[in-house]
Amino acid sequence: MLQKAPSPDALVIAGRSFRSRLFLGTARYPSSQLMLDAVAASGTEMVTAAIRRVMPGGEEENMVELLAGRVHFLPNTAGCYTAKDAILTAELAREALETNWIKLEVIGDRDLLYPDVEGTLRATEALVAKNFVVLAYCNEDPVICRKLAEAGAAAVMPLGAPIGTGRGIHNPHVIEAICARSKVPVVCDAGLGTASDAALAMELGCAAVLLNTAVSKARDPARMAAAMRLGVEGGRLAYLAGRMQKRDYAEPSSPPIGLVGT
Q: At 4, which amino acid appears?
A: K
Express each pLDDT in 151-206 by its tens digit: 999 999 999 999 999 999 999 999 999 999 999 999 999 999 999 999 999 999 99
Which pLDDT value is given to residue 86? 96
- Given a contact cutoff of 8 angstroms between Cβ atoms, the answer to whether 1 and 71 are in contact is yes
Separation of alpha carbons 171 and 51, rounded Å? 30
Separation of alpha carbons 139 and 170, rounded Å? 11
Separation of alpha carbons 170 and 59, rounded Å? 33
Query: Across-strand partners of 25?
Result: 48
Q: At 91, which amino acid appears?
A: E
Which of 103, 130, 147, 183 does the annotation list as catalytic?
103
- Given a contact cutoff of 8 angstroms between Cβ atoms, the answer to whether 210 and 23 are in contact is yes
Which pLDDT value is given to residue 9? 86
Which domains are present in the chain? 11-241 (3.20.20.70)
φ, ψ of residue 91 to 5 degrees: the values are -65, -40
Splitting the chain (262 residues) into consecutive groups of 10 residues, what average pLDDT does each group show?
61 95 94 93 94 59 74 92 96 91 94 93 98 97 97 97 93 97 96 97 98 96 98 97 90 71 60
Give the list of residues 6+ apart from residue 205 with CB closer than 8 angstroms, or none.
Answer: 175, 176, 179, 180, 186, 239
Separation of alpha carbons 14 and 155, rounded Å? 8
Q: Known catalytic residue: 147?
A: no
